[in-house]
Structure 1
Amino acid sequence: MVSEDAGEDESAPNPTVNGVPMLGIGTWQNEDPDQCAESVRTALEMGYRHVDTAQAYENEAAVGEGIERATVDREEVFLATKVWLSNLAREDVLETARESLDRLGVDSVDLLYVHWPARTYDPAETLDAFSHLYDEGLIEGVGVSNFLPEQLEEAIDICDAPILANQVELHPMLQQSDIRAACAANDVAVVAYSPLARGEVFDRPEIREIAAEHDVSEAQVSLAWLREKGVVAIPKATGEEHIRDNFESLSLDLEPEEIDAIDAIDEVDRQVDPEFGPWN
């Protein structure tokens, strides 16, 4: 539970936005329990302080094991999980959130997300349950995920607990300017999942050129660009080499013209596009 601040802390080794560390370890599709636990342990001992999981990933127990294995106090870790779209009725939120805490082996999480505004999601009913969990001290803040600007604003109006973040797919080929603007206007952190576009950033000539200029990986360039935009990134990585390479993006500063070159990428390449996505 890293300490909160009012805005971005540029002096921190792992800077934060509204208390959310700007670089986290993602665990989507990290399904082997021991590998997942070791990835989390490795990341935390390297300096990461943000771990992201979800009910749907079926690895909360392994994530909790990784936190337990790490020589890092639980209080230093910003831990987030998500309630799946079949569990968003009020009583299901209350029941399954507690089950998530049990699997994680923690008393509370820093952020609990509505994973998708779909299926059993009812704004008033669902968010009332999240507010109840907040009042009980089981969550430190509410998150939403895959919310369009109008859905975000509706949730802010309804929810009694603070909405800290909106987690969306975001990378140089899906820049989400409207969502970023809505979040900025409402003091909500933007968290980018699939920040490397499932590896597609490695093939972009603009990113490859910048990476060569700095003698770094294309992943580091993409993550540094997100940080320059004030966006939190949670790239998935399993091996120590990739975990370290992503972490080293925190030391990479891009030149204004390099940021402009990435900004100018006009290709739209959405990697996660289920039929229940609110944009469909």
Structure 2
Amino acid sequence: MSVYSRDVFQRGFGTFPLRGDILANAVRDALEIGYRAFDTAQWYGNEAELGAVLAESTVPRDELLITTKVHPENMDAEHFLPSVERSLRDLDLEVIDVLLLHWPPGDGPVEPSLELLQEAHRLGYARHVGVSNYTTAMMRTAQSVMDIPIVVNQVEFHPLINQEKLLAASAETGIPLASYCSIARGEIFKYPCLAEIGQRHGKTPAQVALRWILQKGVTMNTMSTRVENMRANFDIMDFELPPEDMRQIDSLTAANYRISNADVVPYAPTWD
């Protein structure tokens, strides 16, 4: 059974770039709304702040799914395990639910960092492990070299980018996908068809885009500091897009609007 099999874990709350009181208030609101999956990373610099807010919550630990990601600069034998130990301390956890490699080494070999990830699992630092920003070739390599399941490849996924190759690789390798930049940082609102579809279902364009992601078989992460948006992002389980709506949204992927490229992140590989 997938670690994301519970509906509540299919809708995660992302914490980038939140810090301080803004982060604390947003996480408290998210918990009240019903979010139980929270996503952070060493790179975000907010693991300790997230850990403190979750520790003060009355929500039982076994009802939460905490994901963090190892910074690319820590993916060597000297720094990897100490960095994960620091994440455990900062998050105030005995074990990380899902530990990811945040970025691959550009187009370089992925095997060394995968072995370190596997070692963290062997030591009991993480219940589950996964990757992020992996290409189809990297997914196949990871599936072939790892002795334990890779529970997720977290990637940019929204209606304005065609990720059919990654979806095919997911089906082939058994590595599920999860989304970030799920509404393309607001770019989706420039496309009237999402509003038109939303009107037919009594939903917002963002809710339509997020429902499309889930119906693609992809779990998702969203972030907002506005309670009404956080609640809307969460309330997408009470409707279903029919095939004609899905096909209409599929056509938007021709925009090929990618946010995470080499101009933004130096570790970005050559995308499929």
TM-score above 0.5: yes
Match for 1:210 among 188, 191, 197? 197
Distance 1:243 1:102 in 2: 28
SS in 1 for 2:96: coil
Structure 1 runs, 4 residues or longer, greater than 3 Å off: 6-9, 119-122
Q: 2:45 aligned with 1:93, yes or no?
A: no
Distance 1:254 1:119, change over 3 A: closer
Matches within 5 A, 1:39-188: 39-118=26-105, 123-188=110-175
Give the aligned partner of residue 242 of structure 2.
255
Amino acid at match of 2:77: R
Equivalent residue, structure 1, for 2:188: 201
Normalising by structure 1, report the TM-score: 0.90
AA aligned to 1:200 is: E
What is the number of residues matched between the two proteins? 267
In structure 1, what is the equivalent of residue 270 of structure 2?
Answer: 279
- What are the superposed Cα offsets for residues 121-166 of structure 1, whole Å, 9 maximum, x if unpaired? 7533222221111112110111111100101111222222321100
The residue identity in structure 1 corresponding to 2:73 is S
> One-letter code of the match for 1:215?
G
- Counterpart of 1:17 in structure 2 is none
Deviation of 1:51 (Å): 0.5
**Alpha-carbon distance change, 69 to 243 in structure 1, aligned in 2, over 3 angstroms:** farther
* Matched-pair contact (CA < 8 Å) for 1:25–1:48: yes
> What's the CA shift string for 1:243-280, capped at 9, x where partnerless?
10101122231122111110122211001213431126
Q: CA deviation at 1:115?
A: 0.7
In the other structure, the counterpart of 2:21 is 34
> Partners of 2:189 and 2:154 in 1: how far apart?
23
Among candidates 3, 6, 12, match of residue 24 of structure 1? 12
SS in 2 for 1:191: strand
* One-letter amino acid of the structure 2 residue matched with residue 213 of structure 1: R
* Aligned-residue offset at 1:37: 2.1
DSSP-derived class of the 2:23 partner: helix
Q: Which runs of 5+ in 1 are unaligned?
A: 15-20
Q: Given the two structures, how large is their TM-score scaled by the length of structure 2?
A: 0.92
Between 173-182 and 157-166, the greater mean CA deviation after superposition: 157-166
Query: Could you tell me the percent identity over the aligned residues?
Result: 34
Cα pair 2:4 2:219 within 8 Å, conserved? no
